[in-house]
């Protein structure tokens, strides 16, 4: 059975699990939604969305220095309790996220942080490009949305493919850790420095 994007989207809306995990669950269960939900629950990913609203006031600020001091990252990642903040799994996640920022140069944590005028400017550019390529109006709009998704993957940390496992998004990695540790986890902020970049 072919697994369509709309099936993946519907499963994601029902469970709150990441896109790649939803697709994998549907593939594993032959497109059976009920079995896919069970598959995700067994992995602990569906429960992650229930924790998403819980306050995250604990956590750590960590740093990562790469390439002999050429690139540095400061990142704050929060969780619900000090106990979880001290676990190896949480510390590993924070370190992986800092390395992701160093390697992939995101500008924002999530899509919500991207200013509206930046999105609108990109939308206009992509629309003009599509029309200049001779695409009809209706198709141009779909092309714009597809190109915007790629734009978000470049500039938003949560939308980026995880550098260690590119088939998984950073958001999926965080959801997996939430499922594993049983607490909500959020990336609060980060700063990336590269020697000489302001010159």
Q: Determine how many CB atoms are found less than 10 A away from the CB of residue 60.
A: 16
Q: Can you give the pLDDT at residue 50? A: 61
d(CA 22, CA 8): 6
The structure tokens 């497109």 sit at 31
Query: What are the residues facing 62 on neighbouring strands?
Result: 75
DSSP assigned state of 195: T
d(CA 181, CA 28): 24
Q: Are residues 148 and 166 in the same domain?
A: no
Q: Are residues 179 and 86 in the same domain?
A: yes
Q: Can you give the pLDDT at residue 67? A: 77
Q: Are residues 148 and 163 in the same domain?
A: no
The count of structural domains within the chain is 3
Taking CB atoms within 8 Å and a gap of at least 24, the contacts of 35-39 are 36/11, 37/11
H or E segment at 109? Answer: none
Map residue 106 onto helix, strand or coil: coil
Q: 36: domain CATH number?
A: 1.10.8.10
pLDDT digits (tens, 9 = 90+) for 53-64: 667 779 999 999
The structure tokens 């069970």 sit at 38
pLDDT digits (tens, 9 = 90+) for 44-83: 655 566 666 667 779 999 999 987 889 999 999 999 999 9
Tell whether the model's pLDDT for residue 136 goes beyond 80. yes
d(CA 15, CA 133): 39
d(CA 35, CA 97): 32
Tell me the pairing of strands 71-79 and 186-194.
antiparallel
Of 156, 162, 190, nearest in space to 175 by CA? 162
Residue 199 placed within a domain:
no
Query: What proportion of the chain, given as a percentage, has pLDDT over 70?
Result: 93
pLDDT digits (tens, 9 = 90+) for 95-119: 999 999 999 999 999 999 999 999 9
Q: Are residues 35 and 123 in the same domain?
A: no
Q: Are residues 165 and 100 in the same domain?
A: yes
Residue 163 placed within a domain:
yes
Q: Are residues 150 and 160 in the same domain?
A: no
Torsion of CA 45, 77, 162, 195, to 10 degrees: 180
Residue 47 placed within a domain:
yes
User: For residue 136, what are the domain limits?
Assistant: 115-154
Residue 42 placed within a domain:
yes
d(CA 14, CA 37): 8
Q: 81: domain CATH number?
A: 3.30.479.20
Q: Are residues 91 and 19 in the same domain?
A: no
Q: Are residues 65 and 100 in the same domain?
A: yes
Q: Are residues 97 and 122 in the same domain?
A: no
């Amino acid at each position: 059975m072919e697994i369509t994007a709309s099936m993946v989207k519907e499963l994601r809306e029902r469970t709150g699990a990441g896109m790649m995990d939803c697709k994998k669950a549907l593939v594993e269960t032959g497109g059976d939604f009920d079995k896919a939900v069970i598959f995700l629950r067994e992995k602990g990913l569906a429960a992650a969305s229930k924790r998403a609203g819980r306050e995250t006031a604990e956590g750590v600020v960590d740093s990562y220095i790469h390439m002999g001091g050429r690139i540095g990252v400061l990142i704050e990642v929060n969780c619900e309790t000090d106990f979880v903040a001290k676990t190896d799994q949480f510390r590993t996640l924070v370190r992986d996220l800092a390395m992701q920022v160093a390697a992939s140069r995101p500008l924002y944590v999530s899509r919500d942080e991207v200013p509206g005028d930046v999105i609108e400017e990109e939308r206009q550019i992509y629309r003009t490009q599509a029309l200049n390529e001779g695409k009809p109006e209706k198709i141009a709009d779909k092309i714009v949305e597809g190109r915007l998704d790629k734009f978000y993957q470049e500039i938003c940390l949560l939308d980026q493919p995880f550098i260690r496992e590119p088939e998984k998004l950073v958001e999926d990695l965080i959801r997996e850790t939430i499922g594993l540790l049983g607490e909500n986890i959020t990336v609060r902020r980060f700063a990336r420095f590269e020697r000489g970049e302001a010159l």
